[in-house]
Amino acid sequence: MDVLGRYRNLIVLVGVLFAQILGLAVQVKHTTDSQSTRLIRIWAVDSVTPLEKVLVWTQTSGRNIWHNYFYLRGVRAENRSLKAQIEQMSLERVRMSQDADQARRLQALLAFKEQFISQTEAAQVIGSSGSELSRSVYIDKGEHDGIKPDMAVITADGIVGKVLRVYRSTSQVLLIDDQTSGVGAILDKTRLQGILRGTSSGEVVLEKVMSDETVPAGEQVLTSGGDGIFPKGLLVGRVMKVAPGGELFLNIRVRPAADLSKLEEVLVVTKIDEKQAEPDQGTSVRAIDVLAERLPGVPAKTDTSAAPSNADSDGKPKPVSPPASATSGGPITAAASADTKTFPKPTKATVDPKPQPALQDTPH
């Protein structure tokens, strides 16, 4: 008994360590969460996340009040500049739709199935795991918001990770730079496929690309859709460094497009639709319609079979008038100057009198 009393602390230490090692071994063997650890995780998450939500809400509210009510310097100029950008992008959109429509026709011919992100849920990042070896974050949306495990999480810049565990009002997101994550990826130009993984030091590498391939630095890396989580074609990042790796494969380091260390708001992809590509039919938007909508000097005309509205009776194109602000003697705004500068007068090159599929756009 004396011996037991003397070594009581050591015996307890060994007992506690043994129990934990046993628990750890059981968890490693069973990859899915057992009920006991699930409960511990729920308690821990529920005790930490409410405070995190309050802090994030306070921070966001304070920032919004400052930006929306007090700090409005330069908003007018920014507004003008944005309007000019919208005008420019509207025409660019029409031009780009030519290529898109052609691609859709080809895809339809090949019975190609496309994946569309049809529904997303915006969420705020409220906390992290607090460990360098567990690169995961918590978001303020959970079961109640329709979040499920294995949903893709993205930002406007690129992919972020996937939903790992879902709780009532929060979810844990495994980031792509964690060493246990894996994303099917494809290089944009060379079309080489590989698996994107994180490392213990937080880097992101593209694996399984053969060493006899040439991969230029700076090439874009996209999702391949092969993992069944991320839809095909989402931006992952850019190739940073290429070096020969072991076992006949290249060691390709990738810089993620999304800043994973400073995440604030993310989108959870809650629904992905898959449908066969179809060539666009029916309603179409022509460049002339966009011009008519944007530039008051161009009369609107919707009949595609008729001559374009900016062509006179002889079929010759009429010049496009500058916006009202510019013609009425008022100050030429940034938008007006951008209009006149960016958009050339609609000569035959820009608006052809004959109906052309090249100027069709997808219905929205």
Partner 1 sequence: MAITYTSGEQVEVYRFSLPATILIPLTAVFIQAWLPLRFPFFSNFDLPLLVVIGFATARRSPLAGLITGGLIGIFQDALTHQPIGLYGISKTVVGFGASSLGIKLDVENAGARFLLTIFFYVMHEIVYFMIARGLVGLHMAWSWRHELVSGAANALLGVLVYMLLDHVKQRT
> Cβ 14 to partner 1, closest distance in Å?
10
Handedness of CA 238, 241, 242, 245 (dihedral sign): negative
If binding is defined by CB under 8 A, does position 180 make contact with partner 1? yes
> Cβ 232 to partner 1, closest distance in Å?
26
Q: Which of 32, 35, 131, 305 binds partner 1 (CB under 8 A)?
A: 131
If binding is defined by CB under 8 A, does position 132 make contact with partner 1? yes
> Cβ 122 to partner 1, closest distance in Å?
17
If binding is defined by CB under 8 A, does position 58 make contact with partner 1? no
Per CB under 8 A, which region of 45-53, 148-156, 188-196, 306-314 contacts partner 1? Answer: 45-53
> Cβ 69 to partner 1, closest distance in Å?
23
Which class for 83: exposed (0-12), middle (13-18), buried (19 or more C-beta within 10 A)? Answer: middle
**Residue among 217, 259, 264, 270 nearest 242 (CA):** 217
Q: How far apart are CA 313 and CA 336, in angstroms?
A: 28
Asked if residue 8 lies in contact with residue 1, where contact means CB atoms within 8 angstroms, the answer is: no
What is the residue whose two structure tokens read 């043994």? 18
Q: How far apart are CA 363 and CA 100, in angstroms?
A: 12
Taking the mean position of all CA atoms in its chain, how far away is CA 290?
28
Residue with Cβ nearer partner 1 (16 or 96): 16
Applying CB under 8 A, what is the total number of residues that bind partner 1?
A: 50
- For 204-226, letters b (16+ CB in 10 Å) and e give bbbbbbeeeeebeeebbbbbbbe
> Cβ 203 to partner 1, closest distance in Å?
11
> Cβ 304 to partner 1, closest distance in Å?
53
If binding is defined by CB under 8 A, does position 124 make contact with partner 1? no
Residue with Cβ nearer partner 1 (28 or 349): 28
If binding is defined by CB under 8 A, does position 360 make contact with partner 1? no
If binding is defined by CB under 8 A, does position 247 make contact with partner 1? no
> Cβ 66 to partner 1, closest distance in Å?
17
Q: Which of 6, 7, 16, 302 binds partner 1 (CB under 8 A)?
A: 16
Q: Which of 5, 130, 246, 282 binds partner 1 (CB under 8 A)?
A: 130
Query: Contacts for 164-168 with beta carbons within 8 Å, 24 or more apart?
Result: 164/136, 165/33, 165/41, 166/142, 167/42, 167/45, 167/46, 167/49, 167/142, 167/143, 168/142, 168/143, 168/144
Q: Which of 6, 7, 44, 112 binds partner 1 (CB under 8 A)?
A: 44
Q: How far apart are CA 9 and CA 285, in angstroms?
A: 80
If binding is defined by CB under 8 A, does position 12 make contact with partner 1? yes
If binding is defined by CB under 8 A, does position 109 make contact with partner 1? no
Stated as kind and residue range, the H or E segment containing 49 is helix 35-65
Give the torsion through C-alpha atoms of 260, 263, 269, 274, to 10 deg. Answer: -40
Which residues are near partner 1 by CB under 8 A? 8-9, 12-13, 16-17, 20-21, 23-25, 27-28, 37, 40-41, 43-45, 47-48, 51-52, 55, 125-134, 136-138, 164-165, 172, 174, 178-180, 199-201, 261-263
